[in-house]
Amino acid sequence: MQIPFTVAPRPDTGVNNAKIGVWLFLASEVMLFGGLFSAYIFLRIGAPEWPGEIGGHMYERASDILNVPLATLNTIILIGSSVTMVMSWASLAMQRFDRYRLYMGVTIALGFAFLVVKAFEYGEKFSHGYLPAENNFLAIYFVLTGLHGLHVIGGIIVNMYFMWPGARMWKTNPKQFTNRIEIAGLYWHFVDLVWIFLFPTIYLL
């Protein structure tokens, strides 16, 4: 027995079940990151110096200790991945499965590229002994960017599933498969949006 409204919108909400589910999930994610951003704001307001003393040196701006060029590169990478995610869904809507595989592959590759750049950035901090226990700034930096990185990994896993084993649905139920890619795209766009807030908040302000 097939669950109703997996493709067609529900008459009471105007959207299908999957979209309702992902919006509810993303609402919980907004509360999670919202709480962490609020903690960051209170920590910064209460700190006489920010980022403060790290490794025996006093820093007045986050950009003095964080690698802004690498973070800028990662911002470009994630924005590009959002574009290719949209193109993968649009390709299915136009019945171009070959184009879908191309754009989804690029999206996955860009997700891995983001993680590689972030690993270089973390490695630079660790090599200088800048760890979360050093001070409040580094603690909130590693918590926020680390949690975001875990969400990127989760999105890559979902996209890889739809790239290979999950793609078999295209032959049996192309409309539902297209709908699944749209839902996966909503999550991926949310992850990108979180980074767009993280980048200026942590690195520039």
**Residues 51-84: tens digit of each pLDDT:** 999 888 899 899 999 999 999 999 999 999 999 9
Q: Is residue 197 in a domain?
A: yes
Q: pLDDT higher for 4 or 176? A: 176
Contacts of 166 (CB under 8 A, 6+ apart): 177, 180
Q: Is residue 22 in a domain?
A: no
Provide the 3-class DSSP secondary structure of residue 191: helix
Q: Is residue 3 in a domain?
A: no
CATH number at residue 111: 1.20.120.80
Q: Is the pLDDT of residue 19 over 60?
A: yes
Distances (CA, A) of 111 to 25, 48, 75, 126, 129: 21, 37, 11, 23, 27
Q: Is the pLDDT of residue 49 over 90?
A: no
Q: Is residue 1 in a domain?
A: no
Q: Is residue 117 in a domain?
A: yes
Residue 1 binned pLDDT confidence (cut-offs 50, 70, 90) = very low
Q: Could you list the residue range(s) of the whole structural domain that residue 126 is in?
A: 29-43+66-204
Residue type, 24: L
Q: List, for residues 117-134, the tens digit of each pLDDT value.
A: 999 999 999 999 999 999
Calculate mean pLDDT across residues 75-102.
98
Owner of token pair 């700034």: 137
Q: Is residue 23 in a domain?
A: no
- Which pLDDT score, from 0 to 100, does residue 12 have? 78
Q: Is residue 4 in a domain?
A: no
User: Whole-number mean pLDDT of the chain?
Assistant: 94
Which token pair is 64? 């003095």
Percent of the chain with pLDDT over 70: 99
Residue type, 42: F
Q: Is residue 169 in a domain?
A: yes
- Which pLDDT score, from 0 to 100, does residue 48 have? 85
Number of domains in the chain: 1
Residue type, 116: V
Contact 92, 100 (CB under 8 A): yes
Q: List, for residues 136-181, the tens digit of each pLDDT value.
A: 999 999 999 999 999 999 999 999 999 999 999 999 999 999 999 9
